[in-house]
């Protein structure tokens, strides 16, 4: 077993599939992924924390993180706004991920607009790559990023989930559909 960072895994059922939540001892959210992508989540953890840099074990009991996520899926969208997150990643990636949390509920933003907001207007592709490697989907809302023409673009959990998340947020906020 690794002697590094101790992480805890929770599994919750949502209307769009089983969701995996990974938190550290201080209750910071470190990763979120869908159950069918669990191997991808483990690859992410190894990439960011090293093969022996962490220990992952089941959480002993449900946490405030899983309660907040359940509330989000039940329509209380603001339940996840202040969840503590802690990520590895490069400074550029963390800047993109921080900017994602500033996209309002029910809103979408293009990769180009996101690049402008972080002061890197020519880094649209790099912003797209950072968005795609976001380890804490939903809470760090990469699903709110769309193509320049307003079209839905890739989402690590699948396009149907992206569409569902956007519709869920828009239904709760009264935002017009896209």
Of residues 101, 125, 124, the one with CA closest to residue 112:
124
Residue 72 lies in domain: 5-80
| DSSP assignment of 12-40 | EEETTEEEEEEEETT--EEEEEEGGGHHH
pLDDT computed for residue 3 by the predictor: 62
pLDDT band of 23, cuts 50, 70, 90: very high
Q: What H or E segment, with its residue span, contains residue 109?
A: strand 109-110
142 is known as an active-site residue: yes
Residue of 41, 85, 140, 142 with catalytic role? 142
Residue ending a domain, choose from 14, 49, 80 = 80
pLDDT digits (tens, 9 = 90+) for 107-118: 999 999 999 999
CATH number (domain holding residue 52): 3.30.160
pLDDT at 177 over 70: no
User: Is residue 155 within 8 Å of 143, Cβ to Cβ?
Assistant: yes
Return d(Cα 58, Cα 8) in angstroms, integer. 5
CB count, 10 Å around CB of 128?
19
The answer to whether residues 41 and 72 belong to one domain is: yes
The answer to whether residues 76 and 101 belong to one domain is: no
pLDDT digits (tens, 9 = 90+) for 59-70: 988 889 999 999
Model pTM score: 0.90
pLDDT computed for residue 85 by the predictor: 94
First to last CA, the chain: 48
pLDDT computed for residue 1 by the predictor: 42
Task: Tell me the two tokens of residue 17.
Answer: 């599939």
Under DSSP, the state recorded for 56 is: E
Kindly report the average pLDDT of the chain as a whole number. Answer: 91
pLDDT at 32 over 50: yes
Radius of gyration of the chain (CA): 16
Flag whether 178 is in a domain.
no
């Amino acid at each position: 077993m690794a002697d590094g960072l101790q992480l805890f895994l929770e599994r919750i059922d949502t209307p769009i599939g089983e969701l995996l939540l990974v938190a550290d001892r201080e209750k910071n959210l470190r990763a979120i992924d869908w159950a069918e992508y669990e191997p991808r989540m483990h690859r992410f953890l190894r990439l960011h924390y090293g093969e022996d840099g962490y220990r992952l074990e089941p959480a002993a009991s449900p946490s405030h993180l899983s309660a907040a996520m359940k509330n989000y899926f039940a329509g209380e969208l603001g339940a996840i706004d202040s969840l503590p997150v802690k990520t590895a990643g490069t400074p550029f990636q963390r800047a993109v991920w921080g900017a994602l949390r500033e996209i309002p509920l029910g809103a979408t933003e293009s990769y180009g607009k996101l690049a402008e907001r972080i002061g890197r207007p020519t880094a649209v592709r790099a912003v797209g790559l950072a968005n795609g490697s976001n380890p804490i989907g939903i809470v760090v809302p990469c699903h709110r990023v769309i193509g320049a023409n307003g079209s839905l673009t890739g989402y690590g959990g699948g396009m149907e989930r992206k569409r569902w998340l956007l519709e869920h947020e828009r239904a709760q906020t009264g935002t017009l559909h896209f």
